[in-house]
Amino acid sequence: MEHCIKICMGSSCYSRGNQENLERIERYLSKRKIGCVIDLRGSRCEGLCSDGPIVEIDGRIHGGVNADSIEQLLDQQLLLQ
């Protein structure tokens, strides 16, 4: 299965944590073999700034993603399907 991770790179999400989230996601993906192709795409403001930082995984939008929750979120969305 091909996964798609979209990281909001609008200024609000970027400054509130998506810069770090992007680095953590890249580290997570390079560390694990999850048998799929990952498509990392930056995106412009999703219009959900108040819920940010926004990370979309396989069409599902997640708000308030931070350094503490990103790994668990990736485990849930990518490994436990």
Interface ranges with ligand FES (CB under 6 A): 8, 10, 12-13, 45-49, 52, 54
Nearer to ligand FES, 12 or 66 (CB): 12
Nearer to ligand FES, 9 or 78 (CB): 9
Residues 6+ apart with CB under 8 A from 30: none
Q: Shortest distance, CB of residue 44 to ligand FES, whole angstroms?
A: 8
Residues 6+ apart with CB under 8 A from 7: 13, 18, 21, 22, 25, 40, 41, 42, 43, 54, 55, 56
Q: Shortest distance, CB of residue 23 to ligand FES, whole angstroms?
A: 17
